[in-house]
Amino acid sequence: MDSLSLNKAAWVYPDADISLVEKIVRQHDLPEVIARMLVQRGVNADEIDAFLNPTLKDHMPDPLSLADMKAAAEFIAQAIQDKKQFAIFGDFDVDGATSSALLYRFLKYCAIEAPIYIPGRLTEGYGPNTDALVQLKEQGAEIVFLLDCGTTSFDVVAAGAEMGLDIIIVDHHEAEDRLPDAKFVINPKRKDDVSGLDVLAAVGVTFMVCVAVNAALREKGFFEGKAAPIINWLDIIALGTVCDMVPLLDVNRLLVRQGFKVMQNSENTGLQALIEVSGIKGELTPYHAGFVLGPRINAGSRVHKSDLGAKLLSGDDPGECKDIAWLLNDCNDKRKAIQTEMEREAINMVEDFGLDQHPMIFVASENFHQGLSGLVAGRLKEKYGKPACVVSCTENGAGEIEGRGSGRSIPGIHVAQAFIDARNEGIILKGGGHAMAGGFTVAEDQVEAFKAFLYQHIEKQMQSGEANIKTDIDGIVTVRGAKPDLVKLLQNYIGPFGQEHPEPLFLFQNVRIHSADVVGEAHIRTLISDWEGGSRMKAMAFRSVGTELGEALLKQGREPFDILGTLKIDNWGGQEKVEIHIKDAAFSSAMDEEKLAEKAALL
């Protein structure tokens, strides 16, 4: 949240079974704060060891549990033995780039050089297209992998099959009752898939394919020495998993936790170059993946250079990789400047026309940069606490104006299902994704109809009662008690953090604001202490300038505040200090309606 809570009805501090907390402390020799957090987050007693110490040896799921996997693995293994010609078509985001790089490296280890085709985000849009398949066919491809796309590309896949291509879809986006006419569709979201692996990103599904094919090749005696070193590529698997905002639970937690161990000493030349160019020092974390490395890989596709990310992560030449890393860095700087202006225009549209009064924020403009619609939708979602769609109206290859857009959602609202339903009703041309994020293409004369459809669809979802509007508090802490050791405990035991497993949110009660100033154009930096005094802590409220929260911090510092935030370690100056990143705040004197009613009843 980026607004001041004048009541705290949405703040929830879940009860924890104290006897269970004490039992976990004894049995697992854990600090009480960790045991309590495990209980509050619903980790069952028999899952604690797997949660705290997931290993590939003990907790790796069986790839053959995925529908079609056994037959697909045998087919691919035989094709490798027969030296068939492969090609890779990957999506232009980080998940697509990491999936493409992973499969490329696996096939290269098997002596297969497979070209990678990444579509232009701004020219070709999301998903496979017939022209790309024709091009790959002309280059000699016999088998084409569609990575992180293809599950709902019925016409394009059919066209590819007519060309004589064997198409293998490896995806994780929402599937319909029917599937494209591909050779194989490996997607845990297939209606007939019972693997339980639907949390995987596309790179995770690609990893499962590589493991299954690796085993099939080993059984065939293909490897004279060691099988493919897939474990060495867990760094890019972790990167794609974090950046695609899939739940960091279960198998994803395993892949990310193990992947970041590999990333600390990564042998991936391109990833090494990007880490260096990005200026990252010290231990790598999911924060670096999601907010430093990922945006740079994505930036290429946002400014007409969609294939740079896959090239970087599949490359081995140090000089070339360093050049690509710097180019992506430059692309990211350009992206930031364009995005800032686009966000300003989008927010002005929302405020001027009262668009925040609807169940979803929906803005469309010919001025919008289509490569940034998802990022701006994410910002609008954060600012207004509602699902958001941003549509760029632009000319397509046929010279017609169409809307290309992205949506970002909140817990409990399945935005991709709304897009799929709109497509099935003929309102939009293309649409899909997953619960929290999706994309679509809509004809210019259908934009208003699509907006009305979304308002109704989202309203029905909200009325179902599944939308999560509460804020769970993980613990209550004082400024004096927020020490680096606490943050390290959380990182070592409960981390890594991400989608559906967020960073612990702590409540600081009755804090005093000693100073507050604007940093950059949008952020506010404060110094806080417990009300009775003592040590002071830096607290940052990002993108809060102009919000109710920001105004309160800047102008009403004499009031005692209750602050919700996450804890970070700041190593600036060589000293470890804890700072808080503010997520929400309220005046300490504020009381929610329920408490006011209780007080009235006592009088």
| Contact (CB, 8 A) for 435 and 409 | yes
State yes or no: pLDDT of 200 exceeds 90. Answer: yes
What per-residue confidence (pLDDT) applies to 122?
81
Domain chopping of the chain, boundaries = 58-330, 354-463, 474-593
Helix extents (H) in 354-414? 373-384
Of 226, 341, 321, nearest to 274 (Cα)? 321
- The DSSP H or E segment spanning 353 is helix 318-353
pLDDT digits 0-9 by tens, 449-488: 999 999 999 999 988 866 656 788 999 999 999 999 999 9
Name the least confident of 127-136, 349-358, 469-478: 469-478
pLDDT band, residue 590 (cuts 50/70/90): very low
pLDDT digits (tens, 9 = 90+) for 73-120: 999 999 999 999 999 999 999 999 999 999 999 999 999 999 999 999
With a CB cutoff of 8 Å and minimum separation 6, the contacts of 74 are: 216
User: Within a 13 Å sphere around the CA of 118, how many CA atoms are in the beta-carbon half?
Assistant: 29
* Contact status, residue 421 vs residue 429, Cβ threshold 8 Å: no
Closest by Cα among 269, 234, 229 to 254: 234
Mean pLDDT, rounded, of the chain: 91
Rounded CA-CA distance 557/550 in Å is 11
Instruction: Tell me which H or E stretch contains 581.
Output: strand 577-587
> How does DSSP assign 254-290, residue by residue?
HHHHHHHHHHTT---HHHHHHHHHHT--SS--HHHII
What's at 21, amino acid-wise? V
Tens of pLDDT, residue by residue over 65-78, are 999 999 999 999 99
pLDDT (0 to 100) of residue 103 = 98
Nearest to 140 by CA among 106, 113, 170, 119: 113
CA distance 286 to 241: 10
Determine the Cα–Cα distance for residues 24 and 49; give it in Å rounded to an integer. Answer: 11
In sequence order, the 6+-apart residues with CB closer than 8 A to the CB of 233 are 102, 105, 106, 262, 268
Mention the CATH class of domain 354-463: alpha beta
In the prediction, which pLDDT does 575 show? Answer: 84
Is it the case that residue 4 has pLDDT exceeding 70?
Answer: no
What pLDDT is attached to residue 464? 80
Q: How many CB atoms lie within 10 A of CB 405?
A: 28
Answer whether 58-330 and 474-593 agree in fold. no
Greatest Cα-to-Cα distance within the chain, rounded to the nearest angstrom:
85
Architecture per CATH, 58-330: Alpha-Beta Complex (3.90)
pLDDT of residue 7: 44
pLDDT class of 594 with cuts at 50, 70, 90:
very low
H helices, E strands: number in the chain: 22, 18
Residue 496: asked if its preceding bond is cis (omega within 30°), the reply is yes
- Say what the pTM is: 0.87
**pLDDT score for 572:** 76
What letter represents residue 153's amino acid? Answer: S
Pair of tokens at residue 350: 């929302």
> Distance between the two ends of the chain, CA-based, in angstroms?
34
| Mean pLDDT of all residues in 276-296 | 93
Per-residue model confidence (pLDDT) at position 562: 93
Strands 388-395 and 401-408, sheet pairing: antiparallel
Domain 474-593 classified CATH 2.40.50.460? yes
pLDDT at residue 411, rounded to an integer: 83
In angstroms, what CA-CA distances link 123 with 301, 303, 394, 404? 10, 11, 10, 11
According to the model, what pLDDT value does residue 2 have? Answer: 42
Amino acid 603: pLDDT:
28
Q: Render pLDDT for 239-257 as a digit per residue (tens, 0 to 9).
A: 999 999 899 999 999 999 9
